[in-house]
Amino acid sequence: MNTTAESIYENICRSRNTLGMLPPEYSLPQEEASAESKVRFADGALDGIAIYHMGVPAQDTALLEQALQIAATDPNEAHRLVQEWARDGHMVSAAGKMQKYVAAHQQELPPNPVYRLAVECALKGTYREEVKFGLALLPLFETDQDEQLKNALRILALSDEFTLYVLPIAGRWMLSAQEVLRIAKNVQGWGRIHAVVQLEPENQEIADWLFTEGWDNTVLPAYSALECYQKSGMRKHLEGTMTDRDYTSACKLLQALLGEGPVPGISEVEDAEGLLDAFLTISASKAVSPERQKTLESVAEHAKEQQMSRIAERAAALL
């Protein structure tokens, strides 16, 4: 086991900017196993694509199960086995399987060695999937009282590669909604997409953020548009008094809903015609702007395609 290389956690810590976030150009160090690969995925993209588009294929987890079995008697070898698996494995399709394995073998797996292995892999791991293995096991343990570990997990969550795996852990903390919101605000790519799925509008701050920013990611806003529409109460926003800033947010969120190529959007909205009607009503009182024009064009095009002739005519009249 390599104990001299900089861990991924250390690399993320070192790469943070003065705001405590990762700069937009940051990406995780390329691993030796993928150095000759012709395809270079953005952080978090491989897992995101698997979840949203390709499905999650089964993984052989025999090495990981062996590692758990010997974690109490030979922790170094256990960690080495995890690293061996991590060179080619994919935790996105193994996380649930490993959690079920631990739960089913509680009698033979002492919790403390398993916990130590999980923390060591998460914080000292030099392979992405090794770090994810540790993170995947931590929801099985109580971590809310360990502020040092929580801070370390918050740092790992800054990388879009690991946000997905920190979210279930943070979801078990006492102030889980605020923790998830904090995580969502600190990532811009696939991490934000995953965080929005978990984020529930328990208060107005969260609902407002989902409306104004939750859909705003560097992958494609459409991935989060339906979640943000449903959770933010966008329809009520449109039917009330709306500031120019909120109107711009509504334009961008509606554009994302209409651009449902990779995932469902406007087609899953109950009374979509009523939503478009409400948007056009408030648009009539708003000054001409690039976002207004762009959204009206998208509404007109969608309405024409869906044979909503009245909506198409109203949108065209406002252009």
Q: Is 63 or 34 the better-scoring residue by pLDDT?
A: 63
Q: How far apart are CA 165 and CA 200, in angstroms?
A: 18
pLDDT digits (tens, 9 = 90+) for 38-69: 567 899 999 999 999 987 778 899 999 999 99
What mean pLDDT do residues 196-214 have?
96
Own/partner long-range contacts of 168-174 (Cβ < 8 Å, ≥24 apart): 168/139, 169/135, 169/138, 169/139, 169/143, 171/139, 171/198, 172/139, 172/142, 172/143, 172/144, 173/143, 173/144, 174/144
Domain boundaries, the chain: 1-19+43-199, 202-319
Q: Give alpha helix (H) positions in 125-160.
A: 128-137, 147-156
The pLDDT, as a whole number, for residue 59 is 86
Identify the band that residue 37 occupies on the pLDDT scale cut at 50, 70 and 90.
low
Q: How far apart are CA 1 and CA 78, in angstroms?
A: 10
pLDDT digits (tens, 9 = 90+) for 152-196: 999 999 999 999 999 999 999 999 999 999 999 999 999 999 999
Identify the band that residue 33 occupies on the pLDDT scale cut at 50, 70 and 90.
low
pLDDT digits (tens, 9 = 90+) for 225-274: 999 999 999 999 898 888 999 999 999 999 999 998 889 999 999 999 99
Q: CA 63 from chain center: how many Å?
A: 28
Rounded to two decimals, what is the model's pTM? 0.93
Q: How far apart are CA 84 and CA 127, in angstroms?
A: 10
Average of per-residue pLDDT values in the chain: 94
The least confident of 57-61, 88-92, 296-300 is: 57-61
The answer, yes or no, to whether residue 36 has pLDDT greater than 80, is: no
The pLDDT, as a whole number, for residue 4 is 56
Q: 10 Å Cβ neighbour count for 53?
A: 9
* Number of residues written out for the chain: 319
The pLDDT, as a whole number, for residue 31 is 83
